[in-house]
Amino acid sequence: MWRGMVGVALAAFAAAGADTVAAQSGSPAVRPEDAGVRSLIAIGMERSATFRDLNARLEKGDVIVYVRFSRCAGGVPACLLWAPAGAGRRHLLIKLDRFGRSPDELTALLAHELQHANEVVSKPEIIDLASFGKVFGSSGWKHADGLETGEAKEISRRVASELSRAERDVGRERRSPWTYRE
């Protein structure tokens, strides 16, 4: 689907940057940094049941996920970074490289990383970078750009398909002479 499928990168980000992002948050669990990221989340929520499910599961967990447009190490199009925990919650950062990618592709990449965040939620033993690497290393596979799981790869394919199908359905509705509108 995408060259160099997305991996989970292991790193930390500065807590000061996290405070700035938190001030701009909309959702308690998934916190977009700007209007562009909020737009991607809106696309996913509107057009993909899988994307909605990912977000709903995160809302029930103990993870805060910050999302921003930025480049990832290794040239991967998206990555999940580990951040220091605070106030009883684990903190993650998703970076999306938006350059040269459509909103649908970015939304599917975001879904991929949200699946990784859900994988963190499901493993309470992940409390820091070391435990993150240990757990993901045993449940997925390691490659040059980080760690990967089959579940996240499947989620990105499923969301891309749902987004494509929703777009085709909207186009079909626009063209149909039988569509009744008040």
d(C-alpha 51, C-alpha 64), whole Å:
17
20 and 32 in contact (C-beta within 8 Å)? no
Q: Which two tokens stand for residue 70?
A: 């930025």
What is the Cα–Cα distance from 31 to 12, expressed in whole angstroms?
A: 17
**Could you tell me if 115 and 54 are in contact, meaning their C-beta atoms sit under 8 angstroms apart?**
yes
pLDDT tens column, 90-147 = 999 999 999 999 999 999 999 999 999 999 999 999 888 788 888 887 766 666 567 7
User: Would you state the structure tokens that stand for residue 56, as one six-digit string?
Assistant: 């709903």
Q: And the tokens for 57?
A: 């599961």
User: What pLDDT was estimated at residue 144?
Assistant: 57
116's tokens: 């990784």
Is residue 174 predicted with pLDDT exceeding 70? Answer: no
- Give residue 145's pLDDT: 61
What is the SS3 assignment for 82? strand
Task: Tell me the pLDDT tens digit for each residue of 44-82.
Answer: 999 999 999 999 999 999 999 999 999 998 889 999 998
Sheet holding 30-32, edge to edge: 30-32, 63-69, 89-96, 78-86
Every domain of the chain and the residues it spans: 15-169
